[in-house]
Structure 1
Amino acid sequence: MNLHEYQAKALMKAYGMPVPEHQVVSTPAQARAAAELLGADKVVVKAQVHGGGRGRAGGVRLVDTPREAEEHAQDLLGTRLVTNHTNALGQPVNLVSVERICDIAAELFLGMFINDSGNEAVIIASRDGGTDIETVAARTPEKIHSVAVDLRTGLLAAQIHQLTEGLGLSANQAGQFEDLLAKLYRLFVDKDLTLVEISPLVINTAGELVCLDARIHIDGDALDRHQDLFAMRDVSQTDFSAVREQRRQSLQSACKRACAHAFASRTRERD
């Protein structure tokens, strides 16, 4: 089962992870009121649909005033958004999120998924969060770092350190990342998730990590154990299970490409 971005962020916030301040609304008037309540110079109006690629499809709008927030909400609500993660009919836009703008200094990528065996959670991270992870894997695989976590033993401190070191974060940011990653893994296991992406995970101009966008998939066979998650199900959204599996395979392929590059580099160094 998929979650909307705002639902994913609510789960992350409940686990102590940093997310931007936002309001979820269903009418243009509510969007204007939300922008006024946030009191920011600029806000982002984001269509809430299942699937990625919203920005390129026009589903994410940066606006300057509450009136513009109302106008863009009017433009989005009641339509269907077609992205590279939907079919030609797209997904209905019944809600939009009005979010406080984040002053971005750097963008990272952080993802987690269950591998083919079902026994490991693979964590993948990259310093290049402003680019599709598939593109990073193809062009600069050395910028991708991953660890495979045995679900029976859990996430190890050495694995957290390995990812932190690979990202080249400052001491302060490294501490934040290690705390965030531990919380994300706990969320992943507690809620029987199969895939999580934070893309991007940003470092703002104050040096703080913020989960700017989020995607969560839940194991449908485990929903009987999570009535709180089942209550989040949006039956208006088409479940493109093939696209979801393709996304997991893309992340797995990126990890394999990065591992192959690292192995080749070590071999050349020994030679």
Structure 2
Amino acid sequence: MNLHEYQGKELLSSFGVRIQRGIVAQNADEAVAAAKKLTEDTGTSWHVIKAQVHAGGRGKGGGVKLAKSLDQVKEIAGQIIGMDLVTPQTSAEGKRVHQVLVAEDVYYPGANEPKEYYMSVLLNRGTGRNMIMYSTEGGMDIETVAEETPELIFTEEIDPSTGILAFQARRIAFNLGLSGMAFKEMTKFVTSLYKAYVESDSSLFEINPVLRTSDDKIMAVDAKVSLDDNALYRHKDLAALRDLREESAIEVEAGELGLNYVDLEGNVGCMVNGAGLAMATMDLIKQAGGEPANFLDVGGTADAARVEAAFRIILKDKGVKAILVNIFGGIVRCDRVAQGIVEAYKNMGDAMNVPIIVRLQGTNADIAKELIDNSGLDVMSATEFQEAADKVQAVLA
């Protein structure tokens, strides 16, 4: 589950991580009130207005702007709230902005020039250990840094039995070229950041940039936080931060129905039981010249109600030109699935307006094929994987 920047910063702050302070606003008037409050609390006279959407690259799309007066705060907030923000990480349609973060200006003049760094915490799946990735090149796409100057990217792996050790935090600060007060600040920052990551059961923290201010403070100016969905039962407070407006409406509805669904950009809907079989089915569709429109795992209880719900979810995507049902009858018998498909088809009537190819293998597969073939419905049955692929290819031709 992804958090908004302001939510991620609040989480970091609760673990002692210094953050760029800000107040979220739902409209232009709230943005002005937030700016006034920040001026009172922090002394800042300029404010940064940031669109709050689940996508990176907001500045490139016009979603992050500096306001040098309260009039500009109102004007900029009014422009950003309600816009469809297009960034390198959104679709061409962009994401609707419902709120902005009004933040303090932390690039103030001082003894030193402010400096930006990159830092993230994530799992290294190759070693099974958490890893801190960091670079002196903050404020840039880390992919660009990795491609053009890979020697500027450092990593620090953490032993799960000990957690991050003091010498590791010092090594990170040293590799970033820090000294004096900034060095001490960075070691504290890194230690608190890692603690926040572990204790919140997160899957990713990305802070870009981490800022060394002109007076040698170290703070998070941005915060991308992804929580591990499998651990949310332990964090009811964090689960409550979910913003359904930022997620696919179809995926949200499928989740409420207990279906594992991922929306994709293709023309063949997939209804499968088991994640591995679902991936193989998507490959099959690709080889047949189609593109999978979704990943949908109905699980082990593919009864009529569940199958009908799955069909309705798939058909909400107007780009679907055919549906491939590929079920292995292990936990559930194939004839029961076939009966569910027939009943669902009849219940949906005219809503079932695309060709359907059904491949059922496993327990009672022969009975299932007979049920499908004798149903009188416009459903094509298949026994072998290749046969299913050929029929997908035929209906798309």
User: TM-score, normalised on structure 1?
Assistant: 0.84
**Alpha-carbon deviations, 1:189-225, whole Å to 9, x = none?**
1111111111000111111111111100010111111
Rounded Cα–Cα distance in structure 2 between residues aligned with 1:155 and 1:232: 28
Q: Give SS of 1:217's match.
A: strand
Query: Which structure has more RCO (C-alpha within 8 Å, separation ≥ 6)?
Result: 1
Rounded Cα–Cα distance in structure 2 between residues aligned with 1:65 and 1:147: 42
**Alpha-carbon deviations, 1:155-212, whole Å to 9, x = none?**
1223222222211101211111111111111111111111111100011111111111
Check 1:89–1:187 CA distance in 2 against 1; reply closer, same or farther (3 A cut).
Answer: same
Match of 2:67 among 59, 63, 75: 63
Matches within 5 A, 1:134-149: 134-149=143-158
The Cα of 1:133 is off from its aligned counterpart by 1.6
Instruction: Kindly indicate whether residue 168 of structure 2 is the aligned counterpart of residue 167 of structure 1.
Output: no
Instruction: Kindly indicate whether residue 54 of structure 2 is the aligned counterpart of residue 50 of structure 1.
Output: yes
Q: Give SS of 1:202's match.
A: strand
Worse overlay, 141-150 or 154-163: 154-163
CA contact (8 A) 2:189 2:219 kept: no
Q: Hey, what does 2:259 align to over in structure 1? A: none
Segments ≥4 residues shifted beyond 3 Å: 239-242
The one-letter code sitting in structure 1 at the alignment partner of 2:173 is T
Rounded Cα–Cα distance in structure 2 between residues aligned with 1:114 and 1:151: 11
The structure that has the greater radius of gyration is 2
CA contact (8 A) 2:83 2:97 kept: yes
**Alpha-carbon deviations, 1:126-169, whole Å to 9, x = none?**
11113222222222222211111132332122322222221110
Rounded Cα–Cα distance in structure 2 between residues aligned with 1:118 and 1:71: 50
Q: Number of paired residues?
A: 242
Q: Hey, what does 2:319 align to over in structure 1? A: none
Identical residues among aligned pairs (%): 36
Q: Give SS of 2:122's match.
A: strand
Rounded Cα–Cα distance in structure 1 between residues aligned with 2:154 and 2:127: 20
Check 1:234–1:118 CA distance in 2 against 1; reply closer, same or farther (3 A cut).
Answer: farther
Rounded Cα–Cα distance in structure 2 between residues aligned with 1:10 and 1:57: 25
Rounded Cα–Cα distance in structure 1 between residues aligned with 2:144 and 2:201: 29
Q: Hey, what does 1:254 align to over in structure 2? A: none
Q: Hey, what does 2:7 align to over in structure 1? A: 7
The Cα of 1:73 is off from its aligned counterpart by 1.1
The Cα of 1:9 is off from its aligned counterpart by 0.4
Q: Hey, what does 1:85 align to over in structure 2? A: 89
Instruction: Kindly indicate whether residue 121 of structure 2 is the aligned counterpart of residue 112 of structure 1.
Output: yes
The Cα of 1:90 is off from its aligned counterpart by 2.1
Worse overlay, 33-42 or 187-196: 33-42
Check 1:58–1:149 CA distance in 2 against 1; reply closer, same or farther (3 A cut).
Answer: same
CA contact (8 A) 1:161 1:178 kept: yes
Matches within 5 A, 1:94-243: 94-103=98-107, 105-117=114-126, 119-238=128-247
The Cα of 1:41 is off from its aligned counterpart by 2.4
Q: Hey, what does 2:27 align to over in structure 1? A: 27
Q: Give SS of 2:60's match.
A: coil
User: TM-score, normalised on structure 2?
Assistant: 0.58
Q: Hey, what does 2:37 align to over in structure 1? A: 37
Gaps of 5+ in 1: 243-271
Match of 1:75 among 79, 86, 104: 79
The Cα of 1:19 is off from its aligned counterpart by 1.0
Q: Give SS of 1:7's match.
A: helix
Rounded Cα–Cα distance in structure 1 between residues aligned with 2:145 and 2:98: 33
CA contact (8 A) 1:119 1:151 kept: no
CA contact (8 A) 2:210 2:218 kept: yes
Worse overlay, 51-60 or 17-26: 17-26
Worse overlay, 224-233 or 87-96: 87-96
Rounded Cα–Cα distance in structure 1 between residues aligned with 2:157 and 2:78: 44
Worse overlay, 182-191 or 101-110: 101-110
The one-letter code sitting in structure 1 at the alignment partner of 2:22 is H
